[in-house]
Structure 1
Amino acid sequence: MTLKYLLDENVDKVYKRQFVQRNPTLIMWVVGDPGAPPRGTLDPEILRWCEEHNFLLVTNRTSIPGHLAEHVAQERHTPGIFILNDKLTIGQTIDELILIAQAPFNDEYQNQIVHLPLL
């Protein structure tokens, strides 16, 4: 299965540009892109969209843990959530996301919130 990322609308779009520039075969969409949830979509709806379309959410939002708990309590799932670390450069974050995307992926991050970097 190919891992796909959805960037929260609050994340600078430079992440997507650099991600796609460095590895154009990987998939990264941003909230507001064609086919993605529209800008202004609430977090619970973003989680449902990610579940339905099998995208991992990349965000810097602190509200996500509460929304994920509610989502899972409704017997729903999400492929995973990555929380950005403001101490990492954009380049370091992109390296991390590319490394994760190129590793074997079998629901490894399902219903989890992972703070970057992994190690």
Structure 2
Amino acid sequence: MTVRYQADADLDQAIVTGVLRRQPTIDFQTAFAAGLEGVKDPEVLAIAAKQERILVSHDRRTMPLEFAEFIISNQSSGIIIVSRKSPTEIIIEELLLIWAASSAEEWVDRIAKLPL
């Protein structure tokens, strides 16, 4: 199955826009489209998992722990934590690479940090 992304409410929209400009066929749902504004981390993880989307977030402080707790009793489609310090174009390139070179099944219950 093809990788599909879900932006967290804190993810820089320029990343989503840049990915979609470079590759319009990628399924990258915005936080606004998913109604994630103000939603707590466990529910964000549940929504992404239910829709079989890899969650993409800047939240390095709470999301990794919430993810670890979530996968104890649920299956996740994975999560990618993006550094705010990295140039946007590098993050866009790496998300495109992940989309092109991996399958959704490879990301089940997996956490990764970008840049790679």
> What TM-score, normalized to structure 1?
0.89
Q: Which runs of 5 or more structure 1 residues have no equivalent in the other structure?
A: none
Match for 1:96 among 94, 97, 110? 94
Q: Which runs of 5 or more structure 2 residues have no equivalent in the other structure?
A: none
Determine the structure 1 residue equivalent to 2:18.
18
1:86 is the counterpart of 2:84: yes
Determine the structure 2 residue equivalent to 1:64.
63
Deviation at 1:115, TM superposition (A): 0.7
Structure 1 59/106 Cα, relative in aligned 2: closer, same or farther at 3 Å?
A: closer
Contact 2:9 2:37 in 1 (8 A): yes
1:73 is the counterpart of 2:76: no
Q: Which has the higher helix share?
A: 2
For this pair of structures, how many residues does the alignment match? 115
Determine the structure 2 residue equivalent to 1:112.
110
Aligned-pair RMSD on alpha carbons? 1.3
Q: Which has the higher contact order (CA 8 A, sep 6+)?
A: 2
Distance 2:82 2:102 in 1: 21
Contact 2:9 2:31 in 1 (8 A): yes
> Structure 1 stretches (4+) deviating beyond 4 angstroms?
none
> What TM-score, normalized to structure 2?
0.91
DSSP-derived class of the 1:108 partner: helix
Sequence identity (%): 30
